[in-house]
Chains A and B, each alone.
Chain A
Amino acid sequence: MPKFEPVLMANMHRPDSHTLKVYESTGGYQALKKVLKESTQESFRDLIKNSGLRGRGGAGFPTGLKWTFLPKDHPGPIYLCINADESEPGTFNNRYLMELDPHQVIEGTILSSFATKASTAYIYLRIEYPTCYEHLEAAIAECYAAGYLGKNILGSGYSLDMYMHRGAAAYICGEETGLIESLEGKRAWPRIKPPFPAVEGLFRKPTVVNNVETVACVKQIADRGVEWFKSIGVPPDPNNPRDAGSYGPKLYCLSGHVNKPGCYEAPLGITCRQLIDEYGGGVWKGRKAKAAIPGGISMGLLTEAELDTPLDFNGPGKVGCLGLGTAAVVVADETVNMVDFLHNSCRFFAHESCGQCTPCREGTHWSLSMLDRIKAGKGRLKDLDLLSEIGNHIGIIPGTTICGLSDGAAWPIKNALKKFRGDFEEYIKRTNPTGYMITDAVPALEGAGSH
C-alpha cells in the first residue's frame, strides 16, 4: 500500500489557512469549478455514492445513499444542514476543519448542496466555538464576493445561499432532528421517525443533514476521485453482506491519559493501539492503559486487551461497543477507577437528556443517582443489577426511546459493568463494608445531581 498522505489536514499549518487567498493558492475551489462545468447534479451524486463515503457524524450512514432518499423532481426548496454541533465528549475534529480550513468545509457544503439540489444550506454551529464562527462567517462573506455563493454560481445556473446558525449549549442539538427543531426556533426535541428528514425535514421540506467532516471528504473526492478514496481504508467484509466498507481518510481525536493528545489524520482502520502509541506517544507517565473510549463517550469502552481493535465502522462493534461513533479515543490509565469514569458518563447524559422519553429521562437520572450514592460509600452490590437493567432498557436498540442519546447513555453502563465489574464490586465492598449486601429499598442520596 502506498504511504498515507493526509489531505483533510494538509493545509492547516499554513499561515492564514482560513482565508480564501491561501485556500485558492492550494487548489481551493478548483473542484467546485470542475464539477459545475462537467457534472450534472445526478452524476455528481452518483460519484459520491460510488466512492463508498460514509457519514463521519457518528452513525456511518452511506452519504450518497442518503442523498438518493430525497424525493425525485421535488419542486423545492430542499435544505442542507451541516451538523457542526460537535458535542460528543472527546470529539474535536470538526473544530480543526472549521477553524483552520473553513473553506474546505464550505466548498464541500456547496458541492453537497449541488448534489442534493439544495437551495439553502445552514451550518448549525455550537456556541462554544467562537473562533470557528468568526472564520466561517468571514469565509462565507468571501465566497459571496467571489461568486462561489449566491445567484448563478460561476455562471452555472445553480444558486445557493449559506447561513450560519448558532446553537445554545445543548448536546441534543447534534441529533439530526433535534437540530432541525432547534433551527426552526423550538426546543430541540428529536422527532419520531419516519418521516425521515429526507422526506420531511427542516420547515417540513426535504432535508439532508451531514457532518462537517463528511462534506470535507466530499470536496476531497471531487478533487481526487473515487479510486483515490477507495485506495484508503478497509474494503467491505466479504462475510458480511451488509457491510459497506470503511473507505477514506479519517480525523481521529485522541485525548485523556496519553503523551500527545491531538487530532490526527489516518486511514480508516488503524487500531486503537496504533493511534495511542504511534500518534499519541503512548500512555502518559509510563503507565499502562486500563480502558479507552473508541469513538466518543457514547460508544462504550475497550479494555486494554481490546486496544488492537481496528477503528473502522465495524471494529468497535465486534468487541461489544456501540460503534465507531466520532472516532474520538479517550484513554484512561491503570490508576482510574471505573466508578469515577461511569459517574462522569452518567452525569453527562442525565444533564443532556432532552426529557421527552420517560425511559431516557428517568433512566439517565436514576443511574446518576445510584452512582452518586455508590461514590459516596453507600453502594450495594444489588445496585449493579439495577444499573444493568437500566442500561439494557433505554435506547432505540431496545426500542423504548425516540433518539439515540439514550443508547449512548446505556453503552458505557453496559460495557463498564460487563468489562470492569470487578472495579465496581471492589469499590462497593471497600467503601460500604457493612451494607454492601443489603437489598432493601433505600432512598437515593441527595447528591450533587446533574445540574
Chain B
Amino acid sequence: MPVLTDEMTAAIKAFIPRYPNKQAVTLPALHIVNERLRYVPLEAVVEIAAILELHPAQVQDTLSFYGYFKQDAPGGEIRAWVCRSISCALRGGEEVLDHMCHKLGIKPGQTTGDGKLTLEFAECLGACEYAPCMLAGKELVKNLTNETADQYLQKLKAES
C-alpha cells in the first residue's frame, strides 16, 4: 500500500515546473507529506524519491538534516513550539516551557497521550517583541505566562 495519496502525489508534481531540476522539490514534497500525515515515514521518503527521480538516500539525507520532520510516529494534532532563545529567555520563556512539560507530563519533542499536542522548544520564532512566545500550529501565542499557557492548554482540551 503506498503511503502517498493521489492528492499528495499531484500536489508534489505541481511543484516540479517551478524549478529547473526535480531535486529542488525535495523540501516542498516533505512539507506536503508532513502537513497531511504529521510525519514523514520512510515509505514516504521512498515514494517521494521515485516521483523526483532521486535515490531514496538523497531524500533521507536532506530530511535528516532538518530536525523538523519526524519519522517514527505522527506528531500531535497541534505542534506547539515554545521559544527558548534570548529575548524570550530574558522574560521567562524557559520557565514556561518547564511548566508546560510538568503540566503535560512530557518532554520537548514528545506528544501527549491523547495525541492532541506535541510540545517542542524552538529557537527564536521571530516574534521577540511578544516574548515569551509560542507558535502553536499557525497561532502565535504572545506574552506567555504559566497562567496563559494553562489557559491555552485548557482551550485545546475544550475543543476536543
A interface residues with partner B (beta carbon < 8 Å): 77, 86-92, 94-95, 126-131, 161, 163, 165-171, 182-188, 203, 253-257, 261-263, 293, 297, 328, 330, 332, 336, 340-341, 344-345, 347-348, 351-352, 354, 451
Query: In the complex, A170→B68 CA distance in Å?
Result: 8
| Cβ contacts under 8 Å, B68 to chain A | 127, 168-170
Given contacts A255-B87, A344-B86, contact A187 B62 (CB under 8 A): yes
Is B129 in contact with A253, judged by CB distance below 8 angstroms? Answer: yes
Of the candidates A88, A168, A262, which one forms a contact with B124 in the assembled complex, judged by CB atoms under 8 Å apart?
A88
Taking chain A's interface residues, is the majority helix, strand, or loop, or is none over half, making it mixed? Answer: mixed
CB distance from A119 to the nearest CB of B (A): 11
Given contacts A256-B91, A330-B90, contact A185 B27 (CB under 8 A): yes
| Cβ contacts under 8 Å, A129 to chain B | 126
Of the candidates A187, A261, A293, A352, which one forms a contact with B123 in the assembled complex, judged by CB atoms under 8 Å apart?
A352
Is B126 in contact with A128, judged by CB distance below 8 angstroms? Answer: yes
Given contacts A130-B138, A171-B123, contact A89 B128 (CB under 8 A): yes
Given contacts A88-B124, A130-B138, A168-B30, contact A261 B23 (CB under 8 A): no
Is B25 in contact with A188, judged by CB distance below 8 angstroms? Answer: no
Query: In the complex, A336→B138 CA distance in Å?
Result: 32
Query: In the complex, A188→B67 CA distance in Å?
Result: 12
- Name the interface residues of B80-133: CB closer than 8 Å to any CB of A: 81, 84-87, 89-91, 122-131
Query: In the complex, A344→B61 CA distance in Å?
Result: 29
Of the candidates B65, B91, B124, which one forms a contact with A90 in the assembled complex, judged by CB atoms under 8 Å apart?
B124
Most buried by A among B68, B126, B131: B126
Does B135 belong to the interface (CB within 8 Å)? yes
CB distance from B114 to the nearest CB of A (A): 24
Is B85 in contact with A336, judged by CB distance below 8 angstroms? Answer: no
Is A261 in contact with B128, judged by CB distance below 8 angstroms? Answer: yes
Is A255 in contact with B128, judged by CB distance below 8 angstroms? Answer: yes
Of the candidates B23, B31, B66, B130, which one forms a contact with A184 in the assembled complex, judged by CB atoms under 8 Å apart?
B23
In the complex, 26 of the A-B residue pairs with CB atoms within 8 angstroms, ordered by the A residue number, are: A87-B126, A89-B85, A89-B86, A90-B86, A92-B129, A126-B126, A128-B125, A128-B135, A165-B27, A165-B28, A168-B27, A169-B122, A171-B123, A183-B27, A184-B23, A185-B62, A186-B26, A186-B61, A187-B62, A188-B66, A203-B21, A253-B129, A261-B128, A297-B86, A336-B90, A341-B86
Inter-chain pairs besides A184-B21, A261-B130, 16 sampled, C-beta below 8 Å: A89-B87, A89-B128, A90-B128, A91-B126, A92-B128, A126-B126, A127-B68, A184-B23, A186-B26, A186-B61, A256-B90, A256-B91, A256-B128, A256-B131, A261-B129, A336-B90
Residue of B nearest to A349 (CB): B123
B interface residues with partner A (beta carbon < 8 Å): 18-21, 23-28, 30-31, 52, 58, 61-62, 65-69, 81, 84-87, 89-91, 122-131, 135, 138, 140
Given contacts A90-B124, A128-B135, contact A170 B66 (CB under 8 A): yes
CB distance from A333 to the nearest CB of B (A): 8
Is A203 in contact with B20, judged by CB distance below 8 angstroms? Answer: yes
| Cβ contacts under 8 Å, A293 to chain B | 86
Is A167 in contact with B90, judged by CB distance below 8 angstroms? Answer: no
Query: In the complex, A336→B128 CA distance in Å?
Result: 18
| Cβ contacts under 8 Å, A203 to chain B | 19-21, 24
Query: In the complex, A244→B152 CA distance in Å?
Result: 49
Query: In the complex, A332→B86 CA distance in Å?
Result: 10
Is A87 in contact with B123, judged by CB distance below 8 angstroms? Answer: yes
CB distance from A113 to the nearest CB of B (A): 15
CB distance from A353 to the nearest CB of B (A): 12
CB distance from B149 to the nearest CB of A (A): 19
| Cβ contacts under 8 Å, A186 to chain B | 23, 26, 58, 61-62
Is B89 in contact with A344, judged by CB distance below 8 angstroms? Answer: yes
Is A348 in contact with B126, judged by CB distance below 8 angstroms? Answer: no
Of the candidates B66, B90, B129, B140, which one forms a contact with A168 in the assembled complex, judged by CB atoms under 8 Å apart?
B66
Is A77 in contact with B20, judged by CB distance below 8 angstroms? Answer: yes
Query: In the complex, A87→B52 CA distance in Å?
Result: 29
Given contacts A92-B128, A253-B128, A255-B128, contact A330 B61 (CB under 8 A): no
| Cβ contacts under 8 Å, A182 to chain B | 27
CB distance from A334 to the nearest CB of B (A): 12
Of the candidates A77, A131, A185, A263, which one forms a contact with B25 in the assembled complex, judged by CB atoms under 8 Å apart?
A185
Is A89 in contact with B124, judged by CB distance below 8 angstroms? Answer: yes
CB distance from B139 to the nearest CB of A (A): 9
Is B61 in contact with A187, judged by CB distance below 8 angstroms? Answer: yes
Query: In the complex, A170→B30 CA distance in Å?
Result: 15
Residue of A nearest to B29 (CB): A185
Given contacts A90-B87, A256-B90, A348-B86, contact A188 B126 (CB under 8 A): no
CB distance from A318 to the nearest CB of B (A): 23
